[in-house]
Structures are given as C-alpha cells and as structure tokens.
C-alpha cells in the first residue's frame, strides 16, 4: 500500500510539472497569436503580403504549442524520481526503487523501498513547488506581443501602407464646370488612387498623390472617389472613346482596372469632363546577358586542358526566374556529322535581379574528343514573359588527323608509314598511368613508367632511321671490299691517293650515295628534317623522365613530339590537284564571326514607302475652322465635328502623351463654349489649329510654274523688249 501511495505522489508531481510548463508555453504562443490576429484585423486582407505574414505567425503559434505539449508529455516518472533525489536528501537517492516491482528486489532493496516510501509520504512533495519554472521570460514575451498588437491596431493606415509616399491629396480639375450653388452641386471631396503592381515585379501596393500616373505594365489601378452627395453619373473616359462606370457604395465610388497600354484619361461627373491626365506604362525589360569568358571562337590545342571557363552576368529589372546553358556537340565530318544537344544548369536558384555565373565546362564529360566542336549559348527567362538568348559561342578541339593546308579540293597520297601515329598511344598510356597512380603500388607504378619509357625509346629509334641515327654501319673487318677482290703490290692496281689513309671507310666515301647516316640523310627536305630532329629531341626528354619515374613531367614533351610529328606527316604528303574549280582557301578561325563587312556593298535600289495618315475628322475640323474665321458664326452641330477630331487627337497622342494635353483641354473648352452658345476662345482656336496641323503629314511637293518676271516694272521691261524685237 505504501508503495502505491508513493507512486501516486510521483504522478501528481509529474502532472504539476507538465501543467506549469504548458502554461508558460501557452503564454509564448499567445504572444505570436495576438500579433497575427492584430495584422488581420487592421488591414482586412488589403495587403496580401501582410496577410501572409499574419497567417504564418498564427500557424507558427499553434505548431509551437503542439510541439512543446508533446515534448512535455514525454516526462517520465523515472525523471521525476531522479529530480526528487536531488532535492530531498532524506530519500537517500533511492526513489527509483519505488518504480520497480517487489518481485525483482532482494531483501535489502525491499527494506530500502519501504523506508523511502515512508519518507516520501512524510515530505509531501505534491504540495510544494518541487520543479521551479521561470515565468518571467514568458510573461515578458506575452506583454511585448500584446503591446505590439495594440500598436498595429491603433497605427494609422498611411504609416504602414504608404510610409514612403507623400500624404498629399489627389486633385482633379473640372475647368468647364458651370458655377452653381454650393448646396446643390455635386463635388468630389477626396480621391484615393492605389496602384497594385503585377506579381512579377515583387512590389507591394502603393498610393499616388497626383493624377498623372506612371505604372508598371499590367498594374491594376484603383480609384476611390468620395463625393459630398450621390452623383447621377461618374465615369472614367479613356482616349475619348472608352467609358468605364464607377461602382457606387453610398457616397464612395470605386473602379479598378488593369492597364498594359498607355492612355489619356479624364473623369466625367454628371456630364462634366475633367482635365486630361496621362497614364504612362513602364515596360518589362527582357533580361540582359553579358559573357566575359570565353571568346566567341576558342580552339583547344594539343596538351591544353580540355576545359572552358565560362563567366557571364545575367540581370533583369525585376528578377530572373530561370537561366541555363544550351550546349550542342557536333561529332564527325562531312555528311556523317551527328549533333547532340544538352541543357546545362548554371547553378541558378530562386529569384534574383542579378546573377554571376562562373562555371567550368568539362569537354570530356560532354563526350568530346579530338576534332569535335561545341556550340553553346545562354538563355534566361524573367518573372514575366521576357526571354533573352545570347550569341552562339564556338569551342573546337584541334584534330591531329586533319591536314592543315590550302589544298582542300585536292587528292592526297600519304607515303609515310602508319606507325607515325603511335606517339599518341604513348600519351594515352602516360595519362592513364598518372590517373591510376594513387590506386597502384609504388613498384607497379615505376615498372609501368619504365615500360612506357622503353616504348618511347623504340619509337625514337624507329624515327631515327630516317635521319641515320642509331643504325648499323655495315663496315666491319674485311667489309667494304668484296671477297676475291684483294690487291697486292705490283698488280697494277695501286691507288696513290689512298696510300696515306688508315680508315677503310674513307676509301668508299666518294663513291657512295648515303641515305641512312646522320647529317647525310636526304629522304626529307631540310625544313622537314629539322622538325623531325626536334621531335626526336622531345622524345629524348620524355624518355629521360619516364625512366626516372616522372610521367607527369614527361607528358608536355610527349605532346610537343606529337605535334612536330604531325607537322612532318603533313609536310611529307604529295598532292595531286583535281581538275575543275579550285576554291580559294578559307581560314575559318580568322574569318568566322569577325563581322567584317568592309567588302560588302549596299544595294543600289532604293524604294521609299509613304505612310498614309488619313485623319478625316481632323481635316474636316480644319475646314470648319477656316469657315469660322471668315464667317465668325457656328451652329450647335459643329461640336460633333470637334469631338470626333478630339478622339483622333487622343489616339495619336499615345507616342507623346504630354504634348497634346493642353490642346485637348483647349478643344474641350471650345466644345463647351459651343454647347453654351458663348463666343469661342480665340487663344484656344490658335493652339488647337497648331496641334491639328502638326498631326497631319506634310504635303507632297508638286511642280509649280516659274515666274520669270515679277512685279509691274519687270513686266513693262519684257514688253518693251518684245516690241524692239518685232
């Protein structure tokens, strides 16, 4: 019984601890919850960015409380017993015995269990605060959260939504409105214009303080107009022909509209038109790509690393959504060319306004080898519909099997033996040995290096035969004079010119045509022989380093020897020209992509296309204006002519919206004067006529009769000359 009571005490202590911790966690979560609810209450889903922040805070508060609740529930009775042992020495560090069944205890442990149970019941830890939980931190967080929520609720709207915008009111003028009693006329008391940029800009909504607008392409503009009395009619007029009515909510009129093209607009209140205002569009620019490295044409020579360093800068006015490199590998020649396209990521992630790409293209990983070509370009997409593609760049690996000469239309005959190509195999074996050096033993490495050096020696001796090096002389004892041809004194075959020579070889030199001795070999021309000697010298250097187990140092000499051997091979080929047209040589690396247009002449034919601009209503209005100047009278129907001419002027004013604002306003004044039967504004007539004349295209010149005599005196002079001639 005492043991069961003791376990009940431990469970009560555990519940007290869990409840105390949950109260603290609830206070912390409540602080976040108050801030999120305050944001939602204050802005009422007007700003979606703030709504997202508020929703995130509320969700974070719930997740935090659930996570802490699960963590606190994992507190075990064993942990409670260990904590009581640390706080109550009377338990003699034996509280854990209360949790073990009696069948598992020996006699001494059972006696100690009873003793601890009696001591625990006397201490009554469930009535004390055994676990000390600090409430100060949670209380401070709750107070800070409550204060912040109150500030958000009480903060003025302009302080948050338009912190960077001026607080001036938007003013709309109605220059032609009739004068009426202040208690009967409908007036606009306040105008709020809010611009909501499209999502691709990443900008928040903002308010403006003037009616002339300049907004992003695709932005939504919202007009909120407060009037002193309900209006019979309130409309937005675009370009004099598109009319959009406002939606009424008591004395508040609202209109939202998205714009992608520039326009001229004005408000129409109860039939009265306001002044004209401009609406300009900021276009979304396409991304820009600048490639610093490599050059537009790059050739990789023998021995050079088959890698290309790519450095490029990609930028956009609002943000880049995607950027990658499109590479095309061309393998083969002639009609057997095969192409393979591959899209390579530039490591771009997220959305950035500027991105610097620094990447190394490994041509071996792309499956390229000698003679292959790589064509690549960079493409970028912005957050909207902008797309940009860079120029195409070319990378070519030099092919050692291709003959570089100016006889591309010739037939070649190769008299050189095939073993001229074996130097490349030595290079392949050396590169393989260097790559496997870390995975093989030192003894194996040195043995393979020495074997490659022996192969290099054999190849060097094979080429040395063409220069007379390392060859048998053929002159031995008794050699040089055939058997049975000996001479003796007095036989009549004495040669006094050789009597003083002790070298038998000297006797044969004047009569022999030597091809296989160093310095005398004539199988190659001097220039070709010099290249072959250089190749043998490089082989000597490579063999020395291979024999001393330094293959990495031998590799550059092997590449140089291969290059010289290929030059010897190409120089030794005999060419027979084909019959027919012999095309001039095309130096592709020098001429390709240079953009040289100096020898290209411009076309001689020229054709001028006249752009016709009819503007019939504008011409009719100018005719009416001329008639009015002579008669100084008008009729009410003449206002229709001016209205149609004004619509054409508004359509033509898109390119220069600010240029014709005053002319449109003066035209509106003339129409108002005609409707009210008033004398027309003279100054307005002059300005409107000038604007109409500017809109019309210049008149084409026609042949005119030349006046040879001008004035009365000249006419009399010609008449007198005619009389004398008769």
Q: How confident is the model at residue 403 (pLDDT cuts 50, 70, 90)?
A: very low
Locate the DSSP E strands across 506-561.
none
d(CA 664, CA 241): 14
* Sheet of strand 220-227: strand arrangement: 206-208, 188-196, 220-227, 252-258, 247-249
Transcribe 424-481 into DSSP letters. Answer: HHHHHHHHHHHHTGGGS-HHHHHHHHHHHHHHHHHHHHHHHGGGT-S------TTTTS
Q: What is the pLDDT of residue 333?
A: 75
Same domain, 86 and 146: yes
Whether 590 is covered by a domain: the verdict is: no
Condensed to tens digits (0 to 9), the pLDDT of residues 598-611 reads 777 776 666 665 55
Please report the pLDDT score of residue 141 as a whole number: 80
**402: Cβ contacts below 8 Å, ≥ 6 apart:** 371
State the chain's mean pLDDT as an integer: 76
Higher-confidence residue: 47 or 690?
690
In a shared domain, residues 176 and 138: no
Residues 313 and 388 in one domain: yes
Residue among 675, 681, 648 at smallest CA distance from 664: 648
22 shares its domain with 46: yes
Domain boundary among 341, 365, 396: 396
Domain end, chosen from 134, 154, 174, is at 154
Average pLDDT of span 123-142:
65
Per-residue pLDDT band for 641 (boundaries 50, 70, 90) equals confident
Do residues 588 and 425 lie in contact, with contact meaning Cβ atoms separated by under 8 Å? no
pLDDT band at 328 (very low <50, low <70, confident <90, very high): very high
Answer whether residue 489 is part of any domain: no
The partner residues of 357 in beta bridges, in order of sequence, read: 312
pLDDT of 630 higher than 50? yes
pLDDT > 90 fraction of the chain, expressed in percent and rounded:
12
CB-based contact 57:32 (threshold 8 Å):
yes
Higher pLDDT, 88 or 151: 151
One domain, residues 190 and 246: yes
475 has a pLDDT exceeding 50:
no
Residues 206 and 234 in one domain: yes
Are 326 and 369 in the same domain?
Answer: yes
Domain co-membership, 80 together with 193:
no
Answer for the pair 215, 282: CB distance below 8 angstroms, yes or no: yes
Within a domain: 481: no
Considering its fold, how many domains does the chain have in total? 5
Beta bridge partners of 393: 376
Residue reference for tokens 């070649």: 412
The model's pLDDT over 673-713, given as tens digits with 9 standing for 90+, comes to: 888 788 888 888 888 888 888 877 766 666 655 555 456 77
Q: Tell me how far apart the alpha carbons of residues 6 and 113 are, in angstroms, rounded to a whole number.
A: 10
Q: Which of 65-74, 120-129, 216-225, 546-555 has the lowest mean pLDDT?
A: 120-129
Residue 660 carries which DSSP code?
Answer: S
Q: Is the peptide bond before 294 cis (omega within 30 degrees of 0)?
A: yes
Range of lowest pLDDT (111-120, 147-156, 209-218, 280-289): 111-120
- pLDDT above 70 coverage of the chain, percent: 70
Examine the fold and report which residue of 154, 185, 214 is the final residue of a domain before the chain moves on.
154
Phi-psi region of 270 (alpha: psi -120 to 50; beta: other; left: phi over 0): left
Q: How far, in Å, CA of 698 to CA of 612, rounded?
A: 11
Over 80: is that where the pLDDT of 133 sits?
no
Same domain for 262 and 339? no
Whether 406 is in a domain gets the answer no
8 A C-beta contact, residue 654 and residue 263: yes
Q: Residue 167 — very low, low, confident or very high, per pLDDT cuts 50/70/90?
A: very low
Q: At what angle do helices 551-571 and 442-464 cross, to 10 degrees?
A: 20
**Sign of the dihedral through C-alpha 137, 143, 147, 149:** positive
- Is 355 among the domain residues? yes
| pLDDT digits 0-9 by tens, 191-207 | 889 999 998 888 888 99
Q: How confident is the model at residue 327 (pLDDT cuts 50, 70, 90)?
A: very high
Does residue 301 sit within a domain?
A: yes
Indicate the pLDDT class of residue 652, thresholds 50, 70 and 90. confident
Q: Is the pLDDT of residue 415 over 50?
A: no
pLDDT higher than 90, residue 377: yes
**49 pLDDT more than 80:** no
Looking at the fold, whether 642 and 559 belong to one and the same domain comes out as: no
Output the pLDDT for position 670.
Answer: 83
- Banded pLDDT at 419 (limits 50, 70, 90): very low
H or E stretch covering 663: helix 661-675
Average pLDDT over every residue of 290-304: 87
- What gap in Å lies between CA 583 and CA 561, rounded to an integer? 33
- Report yes or no on 483 lying in a domain: no
More confident: 297 or 570: 297
Q: Are residues 169 and 275 in the same domain?
A: yes
The least confident of 295-299, 393-397, 510-514, 676-680 is 510-514
pLDDT greater than 80 at residue 543 = yes
Domain carrying residue 364? 288-396
Within a domain: 7: yes
Whole-number pLDDT of residue 20 = 77
pLDDT tens-digit map of 487-528: 444 454 454 444 554 555 555 555 554 544 555 555 667 777
Query: Who wins on pLDDT, 449 or 702?
Result: 449
4-8, 56-60, 112-116, 706-710: which is most confident: 56-60
For the cut 50, the answer to whether the pLDDT of residue 302 exceeds it is yes
When pLDDT is averaged across residues 635-639 and rounded to a whole number, the result is 82
213 has a pLDDT exceeding 50:
yes
From the list 257, 251, 215, 207, the residue with the least C-alpha distance to 237 is 257
Q: Note whether 641 and 624 are within 8 A (CB).
A: yes
Q: Where residue 310 sits, what CATH number does that domain have?
A: 2.60.40.10
Are 429 and 568 members of one domain?
yes
- Cα distance between residue 621 and residue 627, in whole Å: 10
pTM, whole model, 2 decimals?
0.47
- For 9-32, the pLDDT digits (tens) are 777 777 777 777 787 888 888 888
By C-alpha distance, which of 571, 472, 558 is closest to 530?
571
Q: What is the pLDDT of residue 61?
A: 83
Answer whether residue 573 shows pLDDT above 80. no
What per-residue confidence (pLDDT) applies to 572?
Answer: 59
């Amino acid at each position: 019984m005492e043991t069961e009571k003791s376990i009940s005490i431990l469970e009560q202590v555990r519940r007290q601890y869990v409840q105390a911790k949950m109260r603290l966690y609830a206070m912390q979560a409540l602080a976040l919850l108050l801030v999120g609810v305050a944001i939602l209450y204050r802005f009422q889903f007007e700003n979606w960015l703030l709504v997202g922040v508020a929703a995130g805070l509320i969700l974070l508060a719930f997740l935090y409380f659930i996570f802490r609740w699960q963590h606190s529930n994992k507190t075990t009775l064993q942990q409670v017993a260990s904590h009581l042992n640390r706080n109550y020495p009377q338990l003699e560090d034996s509280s854990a015995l209360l949790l073990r069944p009696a069948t598992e205890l020996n006699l001494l442990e059972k006696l100690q269990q009873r003793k601890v149970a009696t001591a625990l019941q006397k201490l009554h830890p469930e009535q004390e605060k055994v676990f000390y939980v600090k409430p100060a931190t949670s209380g401070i967080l709750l107070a800070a959260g409550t204060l912040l929520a109150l500030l958000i609720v009480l903060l003025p709207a302009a302080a948050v939504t338009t912190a960077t915008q001026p607080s001036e009111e938007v003013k709309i003028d109605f220059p032609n409105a009739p004068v009426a009693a202040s208690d009967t006329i409908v007036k606009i008391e306040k105008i709020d214009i809010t611009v909501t940029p499209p999502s691709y800009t990443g900008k928040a909504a903002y308010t403006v303080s003037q009616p002339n607008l300049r907004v992003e392409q695709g932005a939504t503009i919202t007009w909120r107009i407060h009037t002193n009395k309900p209006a019979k009619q309130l409309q937005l007029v675009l370009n004099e022909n598109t009319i959009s009515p406002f939606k009424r909510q008591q004395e508040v009129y609202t209109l939202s509209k998205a714009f992608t093209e520039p326009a001229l607009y004005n408000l129409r209140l109860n039939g009265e038109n306001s002044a004209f205002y401009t609406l300009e569009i900021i276009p979304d620019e396409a991304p820009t790509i600048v490639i610093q490295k490599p050059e537009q044409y790059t050739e990789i020579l023998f021995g050079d690393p088959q890698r290309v360093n790519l450095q490029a800068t990609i930028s956009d006015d609002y943000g880049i959504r995607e950027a990658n490199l499109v590479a095309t590998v061309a393998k083969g020649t002639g009609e057997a060319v095969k192409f393979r396209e591959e899209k390579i990521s530039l490591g771009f992630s997220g959305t950035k306004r500027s991105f610097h790409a620094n990447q190394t293209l490994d041509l071996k990983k792309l499956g390229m080898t000698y003679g292959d070509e790589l064509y690549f370009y960079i493409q970028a997409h912005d957050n909207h519909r902008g797309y940009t593609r860079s120029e195409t760049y070319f990378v070519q690996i030099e092919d050692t099997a291709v003959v570089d000469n100016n006889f591309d239309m010739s037939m070649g005959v190769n008299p050189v033996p095939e073993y001229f190509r074996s130097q490349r195999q030595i290079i392949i074996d050396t590169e393989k040995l260097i790559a496997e050096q870390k995975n093989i033993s030192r003894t194996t490495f040195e043995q393979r290096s020495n074997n490659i050096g022996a192969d290099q020696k054999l190849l060097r001796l094979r080429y040395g035969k063409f220069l007379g090096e390392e060859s048998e002389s053929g002159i031995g004892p008794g050699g040089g004079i055939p058997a049975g041809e000996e001479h003796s004194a007095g036989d009549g075959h004495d040669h006094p010119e050789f009597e003083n020579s002790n070298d038998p070889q000297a006797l044969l030199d004047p009569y022999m045509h030597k091809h296989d001795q160093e310095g005398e070999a004539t199988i190659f021309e001097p220039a070709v022989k010099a290249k072959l000697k250089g190749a043998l010298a490089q082989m000597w250097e490579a063999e020395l380093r291979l024999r001393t187990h330094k293959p990495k140092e031998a590799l550059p000499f092997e590449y140089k020897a291969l290059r010289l051997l290929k030059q010897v091979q190409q120089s030794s080929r005999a060419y027979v020209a084909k019959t027919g047209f012999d095309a001039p040589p095309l130096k592709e690396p020098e001429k390709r992509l240079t953009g040289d247009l100096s020898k290209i002449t411009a076309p001689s034919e020229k054709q001028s296309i006249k752009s016709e601009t009819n503007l019939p209503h504008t011409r009719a209005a100018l005719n009416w204006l001329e008639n009015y100047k002579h008669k100084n009278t008008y009729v009410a129907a003449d206002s229709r002519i001016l209205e149609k001419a004004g619509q054409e002027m508004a359509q033509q004013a898109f390119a220069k919206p600010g240029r014709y604002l005053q002319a449109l306003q003066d035209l509106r004044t003339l129409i108002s004067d005609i409707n009210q039967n008033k004398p027309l504004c003279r100054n307005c007539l002059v300005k409107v006529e000038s604007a109409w004349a500017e809109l019309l295209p210049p008149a084409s010149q026609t042949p005119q009769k030349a006046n040879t005599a001008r004035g009365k005196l000249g006419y009399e002079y010609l008449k007198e000359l005619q009389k004398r001639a008769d």
